[in-house]
Amino acid sequence: MRLLLVEDHVPLADELISGLNSKGYAVDWLADGRDAVHQGASEPYDLIILDLGLPGLPGLEVLQQWRSGGLLTPVLILTARGSWAERIEGLKAGADDYLGKPFHPEELQLRIQALLRRSHGLVNQPTLEAAGLQLDESRQCVAQDGVEVQLTAAEFRLLRYFMHHPAQLLSKSHLAEHLYDGETERDSNVIEVHVNHLRRKLGRAVIETRRGQGYRFGATTE
């Protein structure tokens, strides 16, 4: 899952990026509202975290421009603590959720998790379930037929993306765009390696290869 963080307070941005990276999210960071209008609409983000007080262009106007342009990406806004006016304006402008500063990092993680699941039509439960697997996002491991299987960080990120898109055909380049931030060089051969590792751990049928097209997760086991 690839997120855009728009936040001009550098120490907070640093803290959020490292926390989100440790939870397996690829994060692109911007501090300026004008840059955010363009990049948020042109890169395929799974979710956007948007501060409202920004240089260049206020976050509220950034959000309004995204929504009037038809951008459907879930947006979580960061508001001043106790400012009900900001929350109301943000929700009216098309925010999906909000968090008042300061907040606990775990609350942000859980809200992101819930928003991502909701945007994919999935139920928000302690574990994410698809194709007979239960993914524990907080512990980054998966259970299959009651047996817990350990995952590397890269395997967890890939499996989480697959489990949010069951039975969908996903090309290697699509997967790379959603698993790596904009700074990381994308090598689709690496995706293939991780797919093979997941198959070795969870069984070949879990991920189907469509030659020249990509992968389908959970297509044959449902």
Could you list the residues that contact Ca ion (CB under 5 A)? 8, 51, 53
In the complex with Ca ion, which residue's Cβ is closer, 51 or 96? 51
In the complex with Ca ion, which residue's Cβ is closer, 31 or 219? 31
In the complex, minimum distance from the CB of residue 7 to Ca ion, in angstroms, rounded to a whole number: 6
What order of strands is seen across the sheet that includes strand 141-144?
Answer: 128-130, 133-136, 141-144, 147-150
In the complex with Ca ion, which residue's Cβ is closer, 54 or 175? 54
Q: Give residue number: closest CB to Ca ion.
A: 53
Q: What is the spatial distance between Cα 85 and Cα 93, in angstroms, rounded to a whole number?
A: 12
In the complex with Ca ion, which residue's Cβ is closer, 78 or 133? 78
Residue showing tokens 């890939």: 158
In the complex, minimum distance from the CB of residue 102 to Ca ion, in angstroms, rounded to a whole number: 13
In the complex, minimum distance from the CB of residue 164 to Ca ion, in angstroms, rounded to a whole number: 30
User: Under 8 Å CB-to-CB from 208, ≥6 apart: which residues?
Assistant: 215, 216, 217, 219, 220
In the complex, minimum distance from the CB of residue 16 to Ca ion, in angstroms, rounded to a whole number: 12
In the complex, minimum distance from the CB of residue 12 to Ca ion, in angstroms, rounded to a whole number: 8
Q: What is the spatial distance between Cα 137 and Cα 118, in angstroms, rounded to a whole number?
A: 15
Q: Are strands 47-51 and 75-80 parallel, antiparallel or unpaired?
A: parallel
Alpha helices, H only, 120-165: 153-164
